Amino acid sequence: MSVFPGGASASGALHLPTPFFIRSVEADNERTRTITLNASLNAIPGQFVMAWLPRFDEKPFSLVAADPVTLMITAVGPFSKLLHRLQPGDRLWIRGPFGRAFRLPCHGIRAAFVGGGYGVAPLLWLARAWLPDLDALTVIIGARTSDDLLYMDRFDALPKAVKESAARMKIFTCTEDGSAGVAGLATDQLEAHMSAGELDLICACGPHGMLAAIDRLGEKFAVPRQLSWEAYMRCAVGICGSCELNGSVLCLDGPVLEHGNV
Ligand SMILES: Cc1cc2nc3c(=O)[nH]c(=O)nc-3n(C[C@H](O)[C@H](O)[C@H](O)COP(=O)(O)OP(=O)(O)OC[C@H]3O[C@@H](n4cnc5c(N)ncnc54)[C@H](O)[C@@H]3O)c2cc1C
Ligand code: FES
């Protein structure tokens, strides 16, 4: 397996796509697959890469892991559907890693990680990285139906994988139709924990509506939050301006933005 330093490609030139080979493809549900590549990157949880299929398109994807490079792809449109057709042995070109990651402000805090849809992608890695340093971790995974829930088994396996963390980690699932876990939105579950005064920090990734609701809750209960926002990205290096959100250039300033006093 090859290892490339952060931001560099195989050729050594910055920001040029590097061809990697697909090592495995796993189906997570009907619309989502996890693709593992045959290379590693120097990256940290919350960063993303640009995945390129020559003559077609290039789009950003959160890193599920960097060693080896792992991506979770939900098929919603032309590019993601084409990525779903890739098989082990096929090539996928990668640029990156890019962007600001999640940042642990200090040891011994009580954090909540909230993931909606493929927003869980960076949070599993984040949980593995931060669990040893957290006092408590509340994971809230939301989806429309039980079929849309992602990575439940991987989160369930985490306390065993990270030594002595079982007592510190609690996992809650929420579905909008009530077909698994608690009926309702992930933000309802989060609000219950916030109003009980159980949280020092919220990290979240998911649809804009969910992140905006979390931001409002964080303000109401004065809990700092680190939110990973999505935008349309082209260059990923701060030149084209296509990823601007409320004055932030998300490929450089984000995707993780800090809100409140972190
Ligand atoms: C920082 C960052 C990280 C990202 N990480 C991931 C990731 O880990 N996994 C992943 O699958 N994608 C991720 N994305 C989104 C990804 O870059 C593409 O936008 C996505 O794959 C859709 O591209 P497409 O060309 O297939 O569809 P598009 O043509 O862009 O979209 C097709 C249609 O689907 C709608 N749509 C787009 N996204 C969704 C959605 N999530 N659910 C329902 N409808 C949707 C669009 O509004 C449009 O109507 C990330 C984006 C950013 C900015
Ligand atoms: S994608 Fe070009 S400035 Fe962010």
- Give the start-to-end residue ranges of the domains of the chain: 2-98, 110-259
Q: Which of the ligands is closest to the CA of residue 118?
A: 1
- Choice among 2-16, 107-121, 206-220, 247-261 with the minimum mean pLDDT: 2-16
List, for residues 137-162, the tens digit of each pLDDT value. Answer: 999 999 999 999 999 999 988 877 66
Specify the higher pLDDT residue, 91 or 164.
91
Q: Are strands 39-41 and 2-4 parallel, antiparallel or unpaired?
A: parallel
- Among 3.10.20.30, 3.40.50.150, 3.50.30.10, 2.40.30.10, what is the CATH number of 2-98? 2.40.30.10
pLDDT at 167: 61
Q: What is the pTM of this model?
A: 0.92
pLDDT at 261: 73
Model confidence band, residue 14 (pLDDT cutoffs 50, 70, 90): low
In the predicted structure, residue 12 carries a pLDDT above the cut 60: no
Ligand 1 pocket residue status of 35, Cβ below 6 Å: no
Q: How far apart are CA 255 and CA 62, in angstroms?
A: 9
pLDDT at 159: 74
Residues 197-209: what's their mean pLDDT? 96
* E strands present in the chain: 2-4, 18-29, 32-37, 39-41, 48-53, 57-62, 65-66, 69-74, 91-98, 110-116, 136-143, 169-175, 182-183, 201-205, 225-228, 244-245, 248-249, 256-259
Q: Residue 45, preceding bond cis, omega within 30 degrees?
A: no
Ligand 1 pocket residue status of 76, Cβ below 6 Å: yes
Pocket test residue of 61, 84, 205, 227 for ligand 1, highest count of atoms within 8 A of CB: 61
CA of residue 214 to ligand 1 center, whole Å: 21
Residues 17-44: what's their mean pLDDT? 96
- State the closest ligand 1 atom to the C-alpha of 243, by its place in the atom list counted from 1: 53
Share of residues in the chain with pLDDT > 70 (%): 92
Domain 110-259 carries which CATH code? Answer: 3.40.50.80
pLDDT at 11: 39
